[in-house]
Structure 1
Amino acid sequence: MKINLRKIIIGISGLLCFTIIFLFISRWDTKHKTIEIYRNGKYTKAVYKKNITPAKGAVTAICSFIVNNKEYLSKPSLASFPNSSPTIGENYYIIYNSMNPDESICFLNLEVPDSLNNLSGELNKIPIENYQKKVDSLIMATFLGGVNKYFPPYYSREEIERVLRK
């Protein structure tokens, strides 16, 4: 049996091109949705309802929140918050896109304190300064940190800071 090196090289090259295109599209979509959530963002509280395991080894939290008397779900990965131990039934801060509440980010590392559990409605900022700083540093890392900075869409530090100051 003779190995056709040319076919192997063409196959590997095609797979590599497909992977690069997929990464660009995936990163662009994630960054675009994230910036829209922050541009049109409102904060409220979400209740951590339960965990699901949609794929082997991946644990996803199910959090619900209310906007305009309608319940929405957020499904953050527990792996996104490695240094936290969220508790089912507790309230956590969430930011959602006020134009499309289906787009949201629940912060399972930012528990709503008992003194603010009566929080209802929407907020422009989290009322705890330290929590807001954590959220702001997360968005900066999303756009300017790691490999994300190499994928479009590209945002300057000034553009992101403008979104954060809104």
Structure 2
Amino acid sequence: MTQEGRRKGRDESEEERADRMWGELIQEVRVAQTGVQILFGFLLTVVFQPKYGRLALPDQTIYIVTVVLGACATGALIGPVSLHRLVSGRRVKPQAVRLASRMTFVGLVLLLATMTSSLLLILRVATHDGYVPYLVTGVVAWYLVCWYGLPLWARRRHTSRSDD
């Protein structure tokens, strides 16, 4: 196939494209949703553990921030499902796909923040050592590379201006 043939894309209407993109988006959301819900569920149990009362105030603050971030991430990643249910059959699928995509992106950013603060709390409690911020920074850098850096690099490398 020639370079030009590869760059043309699919021959689909706006509605067909929205249907395809909706299916792809929901598959992506399922993966992230499962992870954030499991993480959030575990976070909710921490406060009921005896050791929670012995945590230093900064660690309790990190925990509270982590739970709030987890709740927000959960909301943003479940939001596309509610959106679909409420607008289904109203002939607004292209607009719904764009909004759901934005909600998913926000949910992933909030999930990144939740995982960052969870890791910070766990490592602070587990090690009480000064290298914790460096470990957390390294893991967050890895997340940023995997979740945003490589996808943006691939998008830039493998698309042309006419594809946008």
TM-score (norm 1): 0.28
TM-score (norm 2): 0.29
Structure number with the higher helix fraction is 2
